[in-house]
Amino acid sequence: MSQYRIHPWVSQLALVLKQWGWLQLFSLTTLLIIVASGLIALAFSLTLHNRVDWEFISGAVLFAVVAAPPLVAACLYLIKHLDATLFYLQDSARQEKRLNENLQENIRQLNFEIEERKKAFQAKRQAVDELRKEITERKKTQLLVEEQSLLMKSIVDSSPDLFYYRDETGRFASCNKMFERMIGKSSSELIGHYPSEIYAPDMAPAAILTDHEVSVNQAELTLDVEYSTPDGQLMWFEMRKVPFFDRQGRYIGLLGFGRDITSRKMAEQALERAYQDKGKFIATLSHELRTPLNGIVGLTRRLLETRLTDEQRSWANTIFSSAETLGNIFNDIIDLDKIDRQDLDILYQSTDIAQFILDIANFAELICQQKGLSFKLQQVGELHDYLKLDPTRVRQVLWNLLSNAVKFTARGEISLYAELCEQELIFVVSDTGIGISLHEQQRIFDMYYKSSDGRRLSIVGSGIGLSVSKALVEAMGGTVTVQSQMNQGSHFTVRLPTAVLQAPTLNQPLVCPELTILLVEDVPLNAEIATNLLEQRGHSVVHAETGEDALALLETEDDIDLVLLDMQLPDMNGDQIARFMQQEPHLAQIPIVVLSANVRKAEQQLEGINIAGALAKPINTNKLDQVLARLFSPSAARQYQTPESDDKEPQDTVLDTNTLQDYLQSLGKGSMQRSMQLFQQLVPGYVNKMVEAATMQHLQEFQEAAHKLKGAAASVGLLWVQQQAKQLEQLEQPNWTAVQRQLIEFHLTIDTHLQLLQEYLAAYEG
C-alpha cells in the first residue's frame, strides 16, 4: 500500500477535518487566514513605512475575507476527497489482498478436493471391482446352493419316507413327493394351508393335538399313526415330529418325518394274534386234557388204596407217576406261555414258612418213597416266622427241582436245605444222582435244552422245567445256581429276597360255587380287569361289548348264572337289556348286577325292574365277593365281616390309592401294569374322539367318549382324570372352542398323571 501514501500534513488535516467537522474547520481556517493576512499586512506596513497603514491592512484583510473562504473551501474539499480516495484505494487494496488470499485458499482446497476425488474414484473403482468379484462369487454360491437344494430336494423327493414342514402359524410350508402321494394333493395345494383343511376329519384332531404337544413341550415326539390313503389302502407310519428353532432359539416351526411301517405293523398284529391264539390254544388244551388227567390221577390214587398184587401196584404207581409228570408238564407249558408273553404274575403273601417247608418236605418224602430213596430235611435259622413270599411260585420251583432230583437219582438220598439269612431265604436241593458235566451246567437252564449225555437222554423230560423255574425265581428277584460232579450228585441253590411280616388276619372265606357269568362291558380295560377278578375266583366269563352281542348270547347260552351289566353301551342302554330279560320267562330268573360309575343314577333308570344288586365302578373286590356270596352262598355271606368301611377317602387328588391298593392286592402288580399300558393305548383314541366330536359340535358323541374315558380312568385309579371326564360328560351347552383348548391341556395332564401312576406301581412292594 506504499504507492498510495500522501504527505503527512495532508493526512493530519484530513484527520482534523474528521475530528472537527468541515464547517468548524472551514470557519477556523478562514478566520486564521484573515487574521494572518491582517498581521502580515501590519508587519509589511511597519517594515516598509514604519507606521501602521490601515488602508493597506484593511485591503489585505478585505482581500483575505474575499479570497480565503473559496480557497479554504477548495483546499478542504480537496483534502476531504483526497482522503476518501486514499481510503477507497487502501480498502480496494485490502479487498484485493483478501480476495487473492481467498483465491489461493480456494485453489489449495480445490487441489485437495481434486486429490481426494482421485482417491475416492480409485476407491470406488476398487469397490466396484470387489463388488463385481463378490457378485460373481455370490452367483457361483447361489448356483451351488441351488444345485445342492435341487439335489436335496431330489433326495427328499426320492425318499420312501414322507416329510413335511409347518411354520410357527401351523401352515404347511414344504413337503416331499411321498407326502403328496399319501395326501393325494400337490405341493401347491398343500403349502399355505392348515391341517384341518388338508387331513380327513377323523385325522385332523389327532394331528393338531400331537403338533400342539410338540410346540408346548418343545421336545420331539414319536408315535405310530394309522392312515387310510385316498384309494382306501390302510397304512401305518412311524411319525417323528421335531420342533424347529432359529439361531436365537425361537420356535419357528415343526418338522415331520414318517416311515412306512405297514409291514411291521401287520407282522406285529399277526404275531399278537398268534400269541393270543397260542394262549387260547394252550388254555383250551390244558383245560381239555386236565379233565381226563385228573380222572386218571384220582382213580389211580383210589386204586392204590385197594388190595393189589406187587405187580399191579407197580403198574398203578407207574400210571400215577406218569399222570403227575404230565400234569407238571402242563403247568410248565402254561407258565412258559406266560413268560413268553411277559404275563407272569407274582403275588406276595404273608406265608407261614414253617408250614410251607413242611408241605414241601411231605411232597418230597412221598415221591422219594415211590422210588425207594431216602429224604432228609435240614433247617437253619429262625424259620418260624411269617415271610413275604409267593408260596405258589416258590412251591412250583422246589417241586420241579425235587422231581428232577428224584428223576436222575437211582439210589441214595435227596435232601432239602432251608436257611433264613437276614433278608434272604435260601433253599438247596441236593441229590446223589448221576450228576451233570461241566459243559452241561452252562446250558442246563436253557429253554428246550436236551442233554447230550446218554445217561440223561434215557430219561424222558420236556426240557422246559428248569428254564421255567429260573424265570420264576428271577421274577421274584432271586437267583438259582447249580453245582455238580459226575456220578456224585447235584446241588441246586435258590436264593430269594424276603422280609418278615405280621401274621395275616384270618377272615372267614367266602365260599361261592363256580359260575358262568355274562359280562356286558364296552370298555376293554374295564372288561379285562373284571374278567381277571372273576376268573381269579374260579368263574367262567363270557364277554359282550355291545347290547346286541349280549342279547344274542342270552338267547344262545343256556348255562349263564349271572349277568354283570354296564348301564351305558354303544348301541343301547343297560335298562333296555334288563327289561328284555324281565319280559322273557327263560331269562327272568337270571340275576342282574348293574355296573355303573353312578349307582344312584343307574338305580333310578332301572326303577321298576328287579335287579339283584349294583356295583360302583371301579369294582371293589370286597363288594364283589359279598354280592356273589349273597346271591349264591347266603350262609357264607352272613358270616363275613367287612374289614373296611364303604366310604373311601382318596389320599390325594391325582390317584385313587384305595382302589389301587385293592386291585394290587387282588390282581397283582403285573396285571395292574398291563392295565395301565392298555389305558395308555386307549387314551389317544378317546381324546381324539372327543376332539372330533367337539370340532363337529356333536354333543352326544362327545358325552359318550367322555363317559368311556371316565370309566377307563376309574379302573386304573386315575381319580383326577375320572373327575374331569365326568365334568366333560355332564356338559349341556358347551363353548366348543374353549372345550377344544381344554382337551389339549387335558391330554397333556393325563400323560403327567400316567407318569405318576407308573411311579406308584413301580414303588409298590406289597
The secondary structure of 656-689 as a DSSP string is: -HHHHHHHHHHH-HHHHHHHHHHHHHHHHHHHHH
Handedness of CA 12, 13, 16, 18 (dihedral sign): negative
- Please compute, for residue 369, the number of CA atoms within 13 A of its CA located in the half-sphere on the CB side: 6
Q: Which CATH superfamily, name and number, covers 349-501?
A: Histidine kinase-like ATPase, C-terminal domain (3.30.565.10)
Chain centroid to Cα 478, Å, comes to: 34
Question: Residue 599 and residue 574: Cα distance in Å, rounded?
Answer: 13
Do 492 and 428 meet the contact criterion of CB atoms below 8 Å apart? Answer: yes
- A 10 A CB-CB count for 70 gives 10
Residue 243: predicted pLDDT: 87
Question: Residue 135 and residue 129: Cα distance in Å, rounded?
Answer: 10
SS3 call for 470: helix
Do 195 and 214 meet the contact criterion of CB atoms below 8 Å apart? Answer: no
Q: Which CATH superfamily, name and number, covers 516-641?
A: Response regulator (3.40.50.2300)
Question: Residue 175 and residue 717: Cα distance in Å, rounded?
Answer: 43
Handedness of CA 133, 135, 140, 141 (dihedral sign): positive
Please give the grid coordinates belonging to residue 178.
411321498
What CATH number is given for 667-763 in this structure?
Answer: 1.20.120.160
- A 10 A CB-CB count for 752 gives 11
Please give the grid coordinates belonging to residue 239.
411319525
Residue 239: predicted pLDDT: 84
Chain centroid to Cα 88, Å, comes to: 101
Please give the grid coordinates belonging to residue 372.
425207594
Cis peptide upstream of residue 618 (ω within 30 degrees of 0): yes
Domain ranges, ordered by start, for the chain: 2-147, 159-260, 267-340, 349-501, 516-641, 667-763
Containing 225, the helix (H) or strand (E) segment is strand 221-228
For the question of whether the overall pTM of this predicted structure is more than 0.85, the answer is no
Question: Residue 524 and residue 680: Cα distance in Å, rounded?
Answer: 12
**Within 515-654, where are the H helices?**
524-536, 547-556, 574-583, 599-605, 621-632, 634-639
Residue 286: predicted pLDDT: 58
What would you report as the CA-atom Rg of the chain, rounded to the nearest whole angstrom? 58
Phi-psi region of 412 (alpha: psi -120 to 50; beta: other; left: phi over 0): left
Question: Residue 165 and residue 241: Cα distance in Å, rounded?
Answer: 10
Q: Which of 395, 399, 396 is nearest to 366 (CA)?
A: 399
At a CB cut-off of 8 Å and minimum separation 6, what does 202 contact?
692
Say yes or no: do domains 267-340 and 667-763 share a fold. Answer: no
Question: Residue 334 and residue 357: Cα distance in Å, rounded?
Answer: 25
CA distances from 177 to 161, 164, 263, 752 (A): 9, 10, 21, 37
The highest-level CATH class for domain 159-260 is alpha beta
Rounded to 10 degrees, the C-alpha dihedral 242/246/249/250 comes to -90
**Within 305-409, where are the H helices?**
310-340, 353-371, 391-407
Mean pLDDT by 10 residues, the chain (766 residues): 54 68 73 82 78 76 80 74 73 84 88 88 87 87 78 74 83 84 81 80 69 74 77 80 84 84 82 69 60 63 75 73 62 60 68 84 82 89 83 83 88 92 90 84 68 47 70 88 88 92 62 84 80 83 89 84 86 86 85 77 74 76 79 57 38 71 72 78 81 82 86 84 86 79 78 81 72
At a CB cut-off of 8 Å and minimum separation 6, what does 98 contact?
none
- Please compute, for residue 699, the number of CA atoms within 13 A of its CA located in the half-sphere on the CB side: 6
Phi, psi of 557 (to 5 degrees): -90, 130
CB-based burial, 209-219: b 16+ in 10 Å, e otherwise: bbbbbbbeeee
CA distances from 348 to 358, 361, 432, 759, 766 (A): 19, 21, 33, 19, 7
What CATH number is given for 267-340 in this structure?
Answer: 1.10.287.130
**DSSP per position, 170-210:** S-EEEE-HHHHHHHTS-HHHHTT--HHHHS-TTTHHHHHHH
Rounded to 10 degrees, the C-alpha dihedral 94/95/97/100 comes to 180
